Amino acid sequence: MDLAAFLLAFEQAPIGWWFTVILFTGLVWFIPTILAIFFNRKHLKFILLANIPAGFSFIAWGACIVWAVTGKMTDKALRKNSTNADKTFSDQHQIENKKP
């Protein structure tokens, strides 16, 4: 395929195809940020800022993924998790004490 044919196909691509490509690229590019949101990471803003240029380098992008998955949780998420853990522990302790 020569360059002229490639450019012609590029120009004639439907708008739906472009929308799909841009959406998919954006989702893949920001996977570290999406993971940081789901894992309630304390450094979400920094992960987002680092993620923008990191998409050009597979190594930096992978480092952002590692940072998003292994970073510190927000204080709100920590309180929620510790409260649930304490409640579960106290419920189990009460059940064990009721056994004859």
Q: Is the pLDDT of residue 96 over 90?
A: no
* CA angle centred on 40, ends 34 and 43, rounded to 5°: 85
Tens of pLDDT, residue by residue over 18-71, are 899 999 999 999 999 999 999 888 888 999 999 999 989 999 999 999 999 987
* CA angle centred on 24, ends 22 and 26, rounded to 5°: 65
| pLDDT value at residue 7 | 87
For the chain, which residues make up each domain, given as ranges?
3-73
